[in-house]
Amino acid sequence: MAQTVQTIFQEFIQKKVQIFKDRNALTSHFTPDTIPHRNEQMNAIASILAPALKGGRPSNIFIYGLTGTGKTLLSKYVGQELERMSNQGTNPVKVLYINCKMRKVADTEYRLVAELARMLGQEVPMTGLPTEQVYQTFFRTLDSNDWVVIIILDEIDALVERMSDSFLYNFTRINQELKKAKVSIIGITNNLHFIDILDPRVKSSLGEEEILFPPYNALELQDILKQRVELGLVPGILSEEVIPKCAALAAQEHGDARRALDLLRVACEIAERQNDEKITEKHVDLALHKIDYDRVIESVKSLPKQTKLVLWSIINLVEKEQE
């Protein structure tokens, strides 16, 4: 077995056909220098956050749109540029990003506030302190500098599901506890109706500015894929039908750029494993099957035990009827 594994590794190292220049460029986590077809949203976010460079507190922003419409990518990109500009001698700005679906990071109010404190350089135990004490540590760390702190809460609806919106109500009023620092919040969600179910007080505080990210169409997805191909793949390795097909399939899934990138990347990985010299439509079909299969498997794995038993019983009944 060890020899087989070593052989696989050795063959990979010695491959003559190279497909990837930068594998990371075909992932949804990669941040390119330019983001196609999001100028309107980018300029809106940048304009709202710009006062931070002169020490002003920007309005809170609520960003919503379906999965794969560029919300996270663009928010992090603008945040990085804002920090970079502040390092050139303007008022200091710090941007903190939290994915609220991450376990052991944002699954309780305690852990979320502790993680934010750690991002500012203040170590806090993962457990063991009263939540109020963790808040006080966070506020004290925040107020140790005359700066503007932008907190990006991605998948913010997951927070409300676990903690209720009373947490958000308190969170949007952090500035009342501060003397030097100023805090603004960017909330991001895939749920287009999320803000409508919030307490009106939370809605008015969090949604000072609202920005909608519409789905990409097939042509826009093609532009996104072409940009990533140029960055991530060896020239000439892609058949001309691959990008249009990936874009068309992703456009059917509410214009999901993440799905388009996943299809392209997995198609390339399948071609690489098969030692093919060209990525073709065949590899996209195989990638589609693999991604959909993996999605079903992961969905079933996440089901409660009782639901799995019901599903197993249904499968058994169907199989018996077929016999």
Token pair in block for residue 229: 């191909």
Contact 83, 159 (CB under 8 A): no
Residue given tokens 């808040």 in the structure block: 135
β-partners of residue 65 are: 213
Residue 302: predicted pLDDT: 73
Token pair in block for residue 51: 């006062």
| CA–CA distance, 280 with 299 (Å, rounded to integer) | 29
DSSP 51: G
67: alpha, beta or left? (left if phi > 0; alpha if psi -120 to 50)? beta
Give exposure, 120-151, as e/b (b: 16+ Cβ within 10 Å): beeebeeeeeeeeebbebbbebbbeeebbbbb
Residue given tokens 């960055």 in the structure block: 231
Please report, in tens digits, the pLDDT of each residue of the chain (323 residues total). 555 888 877 877 777 778 999 999 999 889 999 999 999 999 999 999 999 999 999 999 999 999 999 999 999 999 999 999 998 877 899 999 999 888 777 778 888 889 999 999 998 887 788 888 988 999 999 999 999 999 999 998 888 887 777 778 778 788 888 899 999 999 999 988 887 778 787 777 776 899 999 999 999 999 999 999 999 999 999 999 999 999 999 999 889 999 999 999 999 999 999 989 899 999 999 999 888 876 677 677 777 888 878 888 888 888 777 76
User: Which one-letter amino acid corresponds to residue 23?
Assistant: R
Domains and CATH numbers, the chain: 18-28+216-300 (1.10.8.60), 39-213 (3.40.50.300)
C-alpha closest to that of 50 among 23, 85, 26: 85
Q: Is 290 exposed, middle or buried (0-12, 13-18, 19+ CB in 10 A)?
A: middle
At CA 217, angle to CA 33 and CA 153, rounded to 5?
55
Token pair in block for residue 92: 């200091």
Residue 2: predicted pLDDT: 53
SS3 assignment, position 172:
coil
Residue 140: predicted pLDDT: 93
